[in-house]
Amino acid sequence: MHEWALAEAIISAVSQIAEREGLKEVREVGLRIGELQQVDREVLGFALSQLKSGKLSNAKFTMRTVRARFKCRVCGNKWLFREAKVSEDVKESIHFIPEVAHAYFRCPRCGSPDFDISSGRGVWISSVRGVK
């Protein structure tokens, strides 16, 4: 699982934000977890709890899953990742580099690989709350 690598990136980014905003302590961090990357929330949560230190020691991480949506750039069709039939191998590849979805998926209506991942791609920090 590369949830640990993502957790490391989150901790590093939140530490930078805390420094920039002059926070003495970070209390709550909001995360948006894109469905496409199929991040294991339990593993990510555990990794975050192990990696947090200093100003982040007492930080609570809240996660919200964002549905992965696709929009065809050719015919405009919209569909959801969860509607696609995907093998475990393909899921694994998309887990590491979500863009490889373009190698495995086609628009269900026109068959084009030229589609936009309009939401739910990766992991984002939506909010950082703390004490100055």
Partner 1 sequence: MLDPRLTIIGERLKSIGQIIVVSSGKGGVGKSLIASTLALILARKGFRVGLLDLDFTSPTTHVTLGVRGLQPSEDKGVVPPEVHGIKYMSLIFYLGDRTSPLRGPEISNAFIEMLAVTRWGSLDMLIIDMPPGIGDLMLDVLKYIRGARFLIITSPSRMAFETVRKLLTLLRDLGAEIIGVIENMKMEDSAHIRREVEALGERFLGEIHFDGRVENALGDVDALLKTDFAKEIEKILEENVMWR
> How many whole angstroms separate alpha carbon 102 and alpha carbon 18?
36
The alpha carbons of the chain give a radius of gyration, in whole angstroms, of 17
Find the part of the chain contacting partner 1 (CB under 8 A) among 56-64, 78-86, 113-121: 113-121
Nearer to partner 1, 86 or 125 (CB): 125
Q: Does the footprint of partner 1 cover residue 12 (CB under 8 A)?
A: yes
For residues 46 to 85, the per-residue mask of contacts with partner 1, x marking binding by CB under 8 A and - elsewhere, is -x--------------------------------------
Distances (CA, A) of 89 to 85, 92, 98, 100: 12, 5, 13, 12
Residue 89: is it exposed, middle or buried by C-beta count within 10 angstroms (0-12/13-18/19+)?
exposed
Interface residues toward partner 1, by CB under 8 A: 1-2, 4-6, 8-10, 12-14, 16-17, 32, 47, 93-94, 96-100, 102-104, 113-114, 117, 121-126
